[in-house]
């Protein structure tokens, strides 16, 4: 029980001290190393990258499942704070339905490359410029295909991946 409490406390402290800043800077396009330089609270790169990854998934910048068809609505779950008559706060889950996505995604398989062929992954990272390498390398790419929101940076990175 003590380990669970310590982990929860560490997660709370991290989120309070630097979680919001990490998410904000990630939205602005900073990579994990650039974010580390901006933070006043000492945070390891792995923790920054994990926070960025979770944020990318939560905001839809990264998808672990293929993007939906154009006709399917998006169902999003969120939590709001509600107060009872005595002012006691509690959380309530609300479901929001929105129109089909207008985002375009690129299929990325860096996890396969990293874990199945580490030498090829290092060669690929060596072809990237420093900013792109610092973006790709620390993120915890899973051992499966992911879909990353289409952007100039990811298009440039994927072009270099396909070069042999």
Could you report the average pLDDT of every consecutive run of 10 residues in the chain (164 residues)?
83 82 93 93 91 91 82 68 88 74 85 92 93 95 93 90 62
In angstroms, how far is the first alpha carbon of the chain from the final one?
Answer: 51
User: Would you mind telling me the total number of residues written for the chain in this entry?
Assistant: 164
What is the reported pLDDT for 108? 93
Q: Output the pLDDT for position 73.
A: 63
Report which DSSP code applies to 92: E
Report the pLDDT value the prediction gives residue 71, as an integer from 0 to 100: 58
What's this model's pTM, rounded to 2 decimal places?
0.76
Helix (H) or strand (E) holding 13: helix 2-14
Segments of 14-155 assigned E as strands: 62-63, 74-83, 89-98, 105-108, 146-149
- What pLDDT, on the 0 to 100 scale, is given for residue 53? 95
């Amino acid at each position: 029980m003590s380990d669970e409490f310590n982990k929860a406390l560490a997660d709370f402290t991290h989120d309070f001290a630097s979680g919001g800043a990490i998410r904000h800077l990630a939205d602005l396009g900073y990579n994990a190393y650039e974010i580390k330089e901006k933070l006043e609270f000492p945070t390891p790169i792995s923790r920054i990258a994990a926070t960025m990854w979770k944020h990318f998934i939560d905001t839809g910048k990264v998808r672990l499942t293929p993007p939906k068809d154009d006709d399917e609505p998006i169902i999003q779950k969120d939590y709001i704070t509600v107060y009872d008559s005595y002012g006691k706060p509690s959380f309530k889950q609300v479901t929001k339905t929105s129109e089909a996505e207008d985002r375009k995604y690129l299929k990325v398989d860096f996890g396969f490359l990293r874990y199945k062929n580490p030498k090829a992954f290092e060669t690929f990272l060596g072809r990237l410029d420093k900013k792109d390498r610092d973006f790709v390398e620390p993120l915890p790419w899973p051992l499966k295909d992911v879909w990353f929101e289409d952007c100039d940076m990811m298009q440039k990175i994927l072009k270099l991946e396909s070069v042999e």
